[in-house]
Structure 1
Amino acid sequence: MTRQKTYLVISALGEDHPGIVDQISRTVLEHGCNIEDSRMSVLGGEFAAMLLVEGKWNTLAKIENALPELERQLGMTIVSKRTGQRNAGANLLPYAVDVVSMDHPGIVNNLAAFFAERRINIEDMATSTYAAAHTGTPMFSVHIAVGIPADIHIAGLRDEFMDYCDGLNLDAVLEPLKS
């Protein structure tokens, strides 16, 4: 019989400085746990991290007890929440969405609305802005991973999505997610 894994999601936000990842990962390791998944990024002058930490219930409790001191040492806001294993999406097809356009407000909301109206879950999203080569025009790009229910006709969804994006002047691609 396999043991049900137990997890702690840790979110940390604060002014960026060297050593943050070292201190957070050391705290996890010293308490006998493992970082199974994470996202970390500098956003403006702030460092943001989200970690999925796996461990036994008692080792996760030790990390929870250590977080206030870690928060003080790093000068960050740290929040944690217990969670269980993710339920595998029944009959979900993993797809990637890549969109590029001139930057303007509402792009993320428009894309989120398109998928929400079709009950398609956004599982991961990364956005960025940059200046276009030669012209310096502010550009926006987004990469999204979605889980598309197997009963949705993919070709029809792709056509609908491309038409939707064309109407918003967004260059888009919807393709199977490569593992």
Structure 2
Amino acid sequence: MTLVLHPCRKERKGAPMQKWIISVIGEDYPGITENLAQILQDNGANWLDASLRRLGDRYAGIIELELPEANAQALRRQLAELPRLSIELQRVAVKTQPSLQFQVEVIGNDRPGIVAAVTRILTSNQANIEQLESDLDTANHTGVPLFRLNILLAAADEASLDRIEQELFSLGDDLMVEYERITN
């Protein structure tokens, strides 16, 4: 007997899948992610993308998923039963990928106002933040708090990207700015 496995994509039967976002925040305890994953599976959801993490004593995250609209109310009810968490489920429209993207990393000695200054530049140039992550670390040799900001942004045109680049470099000598244009 010979068994041959062919890779294929399973066709989904039934109601069409729609994009949804779950946002969750609350007291951290073991098993939250497993509970979320099981509830999503029980309701026919397809887990697509997520950012989940512990911040202090809080659990916080966002999950993008596909879900038949007919299952949304049952999913809401089950999510509401999870203890010590605030959870919101929202349907979202599929957004087309922008053609001009820019990955920006800003690193420098920690001080108030770095995020405000960077986002002010982005807003004044009509750029949209697609993703933003930051963290606070310690510089290897000095022990000084080191702030790191990573942003994926979308801009309307090349001129906007050029202006953003120049304005970011004008933020000061204590900040290092690295950037990469992403082409699709």
Q: TM-score range by the shorter chain?
A: 0.7 to 0.9
Letter in 2 for 1:81: Q
Match runs of 1:127-138 below 5 Å: 127-138=134-145
In the comparison of the two structures, how many residue pairs are matched?
A: 170
Task: Please report the RMSD computed on the Cα atoms of aligned residues, expressed in angstroms.
Answer: 2.1
1:26 matched residue in structure 2: 38
Which residue among 55, 58, 63 is the counterpart of 1:46? 58
Indicate if the aligned counterparts of 2:122 and 2:164 stay in contact, CA closer than 8 A: no
Q: Is the 8 A contact 1:165 1:171 kept in 2?
A: no
Residue identity opposite 2:140 in structure 1? A
Higher Rg: 2
- The CA distance in 1 between the partners of 2:90 and 2:177, in whole Å, is 35
Equivalence for 1:140? 147
The aligned counterpart of 1:176 is 181
Partner of 1:121: 128
1:37 to 20, 41, 49: 49
TM-score by length of 2: 0.83
TM-score (norm 1): 0.85
What's the CA shift string for 1:44-97, capped at 9, x where partnerless?
111101111211111233212222112x3xx211122222212443xx311100
Question: CA separation of 1:42/1:57 partners in 2, compared to 1, >3 Å: closer, same or farther?
Answer: same
Greater Cα offset, 30-39 or 77-86: 77-86
Q: Which secondary structure state, in structure 1, belongs to the residue aligned with residue 159 of structure 2?
A: coil
**Aligned partners of 2:160 and 2:127: how far apart in 1?**
13
Flag structure 1 segments of 5+ consecutive residues without an equivalent. none
Hey, what's the Cα distance between the residues in 2 that align with 1:14 and 1:139? 27
Report sequence identity in percent. 24
Q: Which has the higher helix share?
A: 1
Cα distance in structure 2, aligned partners of 1:156 and 1:133: 33
Q: Quick check: 1:7–1:60 contact (8 Å CA) kept in 2?
A: no
